[in-house]
Amino acid sequence: MPVVHRRRAIDPERNRHLVMNTAAGHCSSAPLPGKRTYASILEKGTRTGAAALAAAGLVFFLGILPPRVSPASCAAHWSLPVSEYTATVGVRTGWGWLADLPASDSLCMAAIVLLVLLTPAGYALIAFTCWKKERVFSVIALAEIAVMLLAASGLLKSAH
Amino acid sequence: MLTRMQPSDRMKPDRARPFCARPLLPLTVAAVILACTAAAHAAGRPLVPAATDAAAHWWIWPALLFIVTFGLGIVSVMGGVGGGVLFVPIVGGLFPIHLDYVRAAGLVIALAGSLSASPTLLRRDMASLRLALPAALVASVFSAAGATVGLALPQRAVQIALGLAITGVGVLYLRARSASSNHEKNGDAFAMALGIRRVYHESSSGAQVEWSVRNTRAGFAAFSLIGFAAGMFGLGAGWANVPVLNLAMGAPLKIAMGTSSFLLSVTDTSAVWIYINHGALLPLVAVPSILGMVLGAKIGVRLMIGAKPESVRKVVICLLFIAGARSILKGIGIWS
């Protein structure tokens, strides 16, 4: 028996975000405020992060600055689970790499973290720009930032 | 109505130009490298010194990682799969690196790919923030949970589960050859409440396509499972996002692919933090892998125009099955 999808009439009062594209006769919701700025943040941030990662990688692999953990020591222990590895090589976990800047592997971490921070930055923008007209998405963005902060805080550590 | 989904249907980036008359040459090189590494490990005669001698010859590993990920970058773009889904099982199976670090690097690779694609997708309206934001919230909560659970489990258990998951992805690619063109126009009540109702310009036909989504709650529930698997195994999640968005929720294929790519940047961010906090992100693994994958993907995009999609697809499916089997065998201790 064929499935019949019932067409629902659009209630303009309940769907105030919908706008009529009169030229084509389509009904469409407006894009979320801040979408283009979000795209610009991602574009510029990704370029900067990629360039920083390549530069930090050169510093690390050419030995221009001393690392926290030497590549030789890292390669000798990377078959261990992470809890044993950190205990064996004596490296700090969490945000400990920040304290070891400008060690070359900490510079690599900084470049990667720059990339990882782009999404929370974009979400902060969405939370701000959507607050007046699209409150639901602003709340969703704030909830997402809370999840990311929780993950970044180190509170969700598992016993290996 | 179902239409065949081809990798050529996938979005092509700007300024993509063919520049090589023999597109399968790099594929062959990549396949040879992978096959040699696999064969050498299987024979107990590794191409590079064993892990115990790794300290003296450490530089070989990042060089090999760069070469392999460069090949994977080419294959993954041409085959229309995310980099992470090939990187984690292949590098985790062939290199003497603990899976914790491979999964962390896999997530950053998927994140980097998603971040570089998202600006174009957002500007061209191929990724819907209205659809992605709630889905990403669900997925990222569970990806953080998946990463935490994955780091708590013993490597063997994760290897076996990863092998099963990768084999499942291979089966999915083998069987899911259809994309629904019967996309939703009206949307369910939840979609309407979120204003998920857009029009996009289909460049191939020149038509304005009106779309919305159905089964929104069930779809968002599916993102919890996808997020968990993405965090636990360090895979991107495009392989699962696109079928859910397109087949289950009725989003047009291009919107599903664009939104899926954007979703990865959010889902993977939560999981990456968990790995970073545990100290599982090793620059020695991550940096050459990211750079190799990014460069490979750039070459792959250019080669894609002259390639035969079906051949590349077969290569990808073969790689998935080999990597899945290898992971399972390594997990149960038959082929360590």
Q: What is the pLDDT of residues B265-301, one digit of tens each?
A: 899 899 999 999 998 999 999 999 999 888 888 787 7
Three-class DSSP category at B149: helix
Decide if B194 and A136 are in contact by the 8 Å CB cutoff.
yes
Q: What residues of chain A lie within 8 A of the CB of B101, using their CB?
A: 78, 82
B77 touches B300 (CB < 8 A): yes
Q: What is the pLDDT of residue A57?
A: 92
Contact B162, B99 (CB under 8 A): yes
Residues of A in contact with B286 (CB under 8 A): 108, 112
Q: What pLDDT, on a 0 to 100 scale, did the predictor assign at position A79?
A: 87
Burial degree of B143 (CB within 10 A; 0-12, 13-18, 19+): buried
In contact, B173 and B320? CB cutoff 8 Å: yes
Query: What's the structural domain count of chain B?
Result: 1
Out of A27, A93, A118, name the one closest to residue B197 (CB).
A27
- The minimum CA-CA distance between B179 and chain A, rounded to whole Å, is 18
For chain B, say whether A4 makes contact (Cβ under 8 Å): no
Interface of A with B in 84-113 (CB under 8 A): 85-86, 91-95, 105, 108-109, 112-113
pLDDT in tens, chain B (336 residues): 334 444 444 444 444 444 443 445 455 455 545 544 554 454 444 444 444 555 667 888 888 899 988 888 887 777 667 777 888 888 887 888 888 999 999 999 988 888 888 888 888 888 888 899 999 999 999 999 999 998 888 888 888 888 888 888 888 777 765 566 666 677 788 888 888 888 877 776 777 788 888 888 888 899 999 999 899 888 877 778 888 888 888 888 888 888 888 888 899 899 999 999 998 999 999 999 999 888 888 787 777 666 666 777 777 788 888 888 888 888 887 766
Overall residue count recorded for chain A in this entry: 160
Q: Which position has the token pair 């499916």?
A: B317
**Residue that the structure tokens 């909560």 belong to:** B141
pLDDT of residue B324: 84
Domains of chain A by residue range? 35-153
Cβ contact B129–A35 (<8 Å)? yes
Residues of chain B contacting residue A14, judged by C-beta atoms under 8 Å apart: 192-193
Residues of B in contact with A61 (CB under 8 A): 59, 62, 287
Does A24 touch chain B if contact means CB atoms closer than 8 Å? yes
pLDDT of residue B281: 92
Domain hosting residue B108, numbered range:
14-331
The model carries a pTM of 0.81
Question: B323: helix, coil or strand?
Answer: helix
* Nearest CA distance, B308 vs chain A (angstrom): 31
Across the interface, of A27, A31, A91, the residue whose CB is closest to B279 is A91
Chains A, B: CB contacts within 8 A come to 234
pLDDT for the residue numbered B50: 47
pLDDT tens per residue across span A89-143: 888 888 888 888 888 989 999 999 999 999 999 999 999 998 888 889 999 999 9
Q: What is the pLDDT of residues B131-171, one digit of tens each?
A: 999 999 999 999 999 999 988 888 888 888 888 888 888 88
Dist. CA A95–CA B276, nearest whole Å: 8
Contact: B129, A31; criterion CB under 8 Å: yes
Interface mutation vs chain A, best among B53, B57, B61, B133, most A CBs within 10 Å: B133
Chain B residue whose CA is closest to A111 = B287
What pLDDT does A24 receive? Answer: 53
pLDDT of residue A17: 54
Q: Which of B115, B155, B186 sits opposite A42 (nearest CB)?
A: B115
User: Which tokens belong to B129?
Assistant: 């923030």
Q: From residue B83, give the alpha-carbon distance in Å to each of B79, B150, B165.
A: 10, 20, 15
Residue B1 within any structural domain of the chain: no
Residue B35 domain flag: yes
Contact list, B134 vs chain A (CB under 8 Å): 140
Strands B178-180 and B2-4: antiparallel
Q: Is residue B3 part of a domain?
A: no
- Does some domain include residue B7? no
> In 3D, which of A141, A149, A148 has the Cα closest to residue A122?
A141
